[in-house]
Amino acid sequence: MSAATEMPSPLLPVPDALTQFFWDGVAQGELRIQRCRECRHYIHYPRPICRFCRSRDLTGERVSGRAALYSWTISTQAFHPFWVERVPYTIATVELVEQPRLMFLSQVIGCAEGELRAGLPLEVTFERVAPELTLPFFKPAGAAR
Protein backbone atom coordinates (compact mmCIF):
# COMPACT_ATOMS: atom_id res chain seq x y z
CA MET A 1 0.00 0.00 0.00
CA SER A 2 1.22 3.44 -0.86
CA ALA A 3 1.20 6.16 1.79
CA ALA A 4 -2.06 8.09 2.18
CA THR A 5 -0.52 11.23 0.69
CA GLU A 6 0.44 9.49 -2.58
CA MET A 7 -2.04 9.25 -5.41
CA PRO A 8 -2.96 5.60 -5.85
CA SER A 9 -2.17 4.16 -9.26
CA PRO A 10 -4.88 2.60 -11.39
CA LEU A 11 -4.76 -1.09 -12.24
CA LEU A 12 -2.73 -1.02 -15.42
CA PRO A 13 -3.53 -3.31 -18.33
CA VAL A 14 -1.00 -6.04 -19.00
CA PRO A 15 -0.91 -6.31 -22.81
CA ASP A 16 -0.02 -9.66 -24.32
CA ALA A 17 0.62 -10.96 -27.84
CA LEU A 18 -3.11 -11.06 -28.51
CA THR A 19 -3.94 -7.58 -27.19
CA GLN A 20 -0.86 -5.45 -27.91
CA PHE A 21 -2.50 -3.98 -31.02
CA PHE A 22 -5.33 -2.58 -28.92
CA TRP A 23 -3.09 -0.65 -26.53
CA ASP A 24 -0.81 0.47 -29.36
CA GLY A 25 -3.94 1.91 -30.96
CA VAL A 26 -4.96 3.68 -27.78
CA ALA A 27 -1.48 5.25 -27.60
CA GLN A 28 -2.08 6.63 -31.08
CA GLY A 29 -5.62 7.81 -30.40
CA GLU A 30 -7.24 4.97 -32.37
CA LEU A 31 -9.82 2.42 -31.27
CA ARG A 32 -8.80 -0.90 -32.79
CA ILE A 33 -10.80 -4.11 -32.63
CA GLN A 34 -9.67 -7.56 -33.66
CA ARG A 35 -11.01 -8.58 -37.06
CA CYS A 36 -10.92 -11.78 -39.10
CA ARG A 37 -9.29 -11.31 -42.50
CA GLU A 38 -11.20 -14.28 -43.92
CA CYS A 39 -14.85 -13.69 -42.97
CA ARG A 40 -14.41 -10.04 -41.92
CA HIS A 41 -16.18 -10.45 -38.57
CA TYR A 42 -14.98 -8.39 -35.62
CA ILE A 43 -14.12 -10.29 -32.42
CA HIS A 44 -13.97 -8.77 -28.94
CA TYR A 45 -12.36 -9.68 -26.56
CA PRO A 46 -9.45 -10.76 -28.79
CA ARG A 47 -9.07 -14.50 -29.39
CA PRO A 48 -6.47 -16.65 -31.19
CA ILE A 49 -9.09 -18.01 -33.61
CA CYS A 50 -12.14 -16.62 -35.36
CA ARG A 51 -15.23 -18.03 -33.68
CA PHE A 52 -17.23 -17.47 -36.87
CA CYS A 53 -15.03 -19.28 -39.44
CA ARG A 54 -12.11 -20.80 -37.49
CA SER A 55 -9.57 -18.76 -39.41
CA ARG A 56 -6.32 -17.94 -37.61
CA ASP A 57 -5.73 -14.96 -39.85
CA LEU A 58 -6.70 -12.14 -37.49
CA THR A 59 -5.63 -8.55 -37.20
CA GLY A 60 -6.32 -5.41 -35.18
CA GLU A 61 -8.24 -2.92 -37.27
CA ARG A 62 -9.25 0.68 -36.61
CA VAL A 63 -13.00 1.17 -36.13
CA SER A 64 -15.01 4.38 -36.42
CA GLY A 65 -15.39 4.85 -32.68
CA ARG A 66 -19.12 5.33 -33.12
CA ALA A 67 -21.43 3.33 -30.88
CA ALA A 68 -24.86 3.14 -29.29
CA LEU A 69 -25.34 2.96 -25.53
CA TYR A 70 -26.65 -0.50 -24.59
CA SER A 71 -26.62 -0.36 -20.78
CA TRP A 72 -24.96 1.61 -18.02
CA THR A 73 -24.46 1.71 -14.27
CA ILE A 74 -23.38 4.55 -12.01
CA SER A 75 -20.56 3.11 -9.96
CA THR A 76 -21.02 4.67 -6.54
CA GLN A 77 -18.67 2.37 -4.65
CA ALA A 78 -14.99 2.02 -5.49
CA PHE A 79 -13.52 -1.48 -5.57
CA HIS A 80 -9.95 -0.23 -6.11
CA PRO A 81 -8.15 2.66 -4.35
CA PHE A 82 -7.63 4.57 -7.61
CA TRP A 83 -11.39 5.06 -8.05
CA VAL A 84 -12.18 6.16 -4.48
CA GLU A 85 -11.83 9.85 -5.31
CA ARG A 86 -13.47 9.39 -8.71
CA VAL A 87 -16.89 7.94 -7.83
CA PRO A 88 -19.51 8.30 -9.05
CA TYR A 89 -18.64 7.44 -12.63
CA THR A 90 -20.65 5.77 -15.38
CA ILE A 91 -19.66 2.29 -16.53
CA ALA A 92 -21.23 1.50 -19.89
CA THR A 93 -21.66 -1.37 -22.30
CA VAL A 94 -21.77 0.10 -25.79
CA GLU A 95 -22.56 -1.52 -29.11
CA LEU A 96 -20.02 -0.53 -31.76
CA VAL A 97 -21.64 0.40 -35.08
CA GLU A 98 -19.39 -1.86 -37.14
CA GLN A 99 -21.28 -5.07 -36.33
CA PRO A 100 -24.54 -5.98 -34.58
CA ARG A 101 -23.96 -6.89 -30.93
CA LEU A 102 -20.26 -6.02 -31.05
CA MET A 103 -20.16 -5.00 -27.41
CA PHE A 104 -17.45 -2.91 -25.77
CA LEU A 105 -17.09 -2.16 -22.06
CA SER A 106 -16.05 1.38 -21.17
CA GLN A 107 -17.18 4.54 -19.38
CA VAL A 108 -19.44 7.30 -20.62
CA ILE A 109 -18.28 10.82 -19.79
CA GLY A 110 -19.64 14.25 -20.51
CA CYS A 111 -23.25 13.16 -20.20
CA ALA A 112 -25.71 14.09 -17.46
CA GLU A 113 -27.28 11.07 -15.75
CA GLY A 114 -30.73 12.10 -16.95
CA GLU A 115 -29.55 12.05 -20.58
CA LEU A 116 -28.45 8.41 -20.46
CA ARG A 117 -30.77 6.16 -22.45
CA ALA A 118 -30.56 2.92 -24.40
CA GLY A 119 -29.57 3.69 -27.99
CA LEU A 120 -27.92 7.04 -27.21
CA PRO A 121 -25.38 7.71 -30.02
CA LEU A 122 -21.84 7.87 -28.70
CA GLU A 123 -18.34 8.41 -29.97
CA VAL A 124 -14.98 7.39 -28.59
CA THR A 125 -12.83 9.90 -26.73
CA PHE A 126 -9.43 9.18 -25.30
CA GLU A 127 -9.15 10.12 -21.65
CA ARG A 128 -5.89 10.31 -19.75
CA VAL A 129 -7.16 9.09 -16.38
CA ALA A 130 -3.66 9.00 -14.88
CA PRO A 131 -0.20 9.94 -16.21
CA GLU A 132 0.41 6.25 -16.93
CA LEU A 133 -3.04 5.33 -18.28
CA THR A 134 -5.13 6.57 -21.19
CA LEU A 135 -8.44 4.80 -21.86
CA PRO A 136 -10.94 4.85 -24.72
CA PHE A 137 -14.08 6.30 -23.13
CA PHE A 138 -17.28 7.37 -24.88
CA LYS A 139 -19.19 10.66 -24.97
CA PRO A 140 -22.45 11.66 -26.61
CA ALA A 141 -21.91 11.97 -30.35
CA GLY A 142 -21.08 15.54 -31.32
CA ALA A 143 -20.58 16.67 -27.70
CA ALA A 144 -17.73 19.09 -27.14
CA ARG A 145 -15.62 17.41 -24.45
Partner 1 sequence: MRRVAIVGVGYSRVGRNTGLTETDLVIESSLAALADAGLETKDVDGVVSMGSDALRDAWMLGITPLDWFFAGGTGPAFVYAAHQAIAAIASGFCHTALALRIIPQQPTGAKLLGGAGAAHPMTAMLAQAVGDRQFSLPFGAGNPPQWAGLLTQRHMAQFGTTEEQFGRHVITQREHAALNDDAFFREPLTMEQYLTSRFVSKPLRILDCDYPCDSGSAVIFTTEERARDLRKPPVFVEASALSATRDLHFEILEDMAETSPKHCAEQLWARTDLRPKDVSVAGLYDGFSVITFQWLEALGFCERGGAGPFVAAGNTRLGGKIPVNTDGGACNVGRRHGANFCIEAVRQLRGECDARQVKDARVAVFSNSFGPFCGATLLTRD
* Residue 33, CB-side half-sphere exposure with 13 Å CA sphere: 23
Q: Does 1 bind partner 1 (CB under 8 A)?
A: yes
d(CA 43, CA 141): 24
Q: Does 14 bind partner 1 (CB under 8 A)?
A: yes
Task: Give the chain's length.
Answer: 145
Instruction: Tell me the window of 35-43, 52-60, 96-104 that interacts with partner 1 (CB under 8 A).
Output: 96-104
- CB of 142 vs partner 1, minimal distance in Å: 22
d(CA 47, CA 135): 21
Q: Does 117 bind partner 1 (CB under 8 A)?
A: yes
User: How many residues sit close enough to partner 1 to count as binding (CB under 8 A)?
Assistant: 41
Instruction: Give me Rg for the CA atoms of the chain.
Output: 16
Q: Which residues bind partner 1 (CB under 8 A)?
A: 1, 10-16, 19, 44-45, 70-84, 86, 88-89, 91, 93, 101, 103-107, 117-118, 133, 135
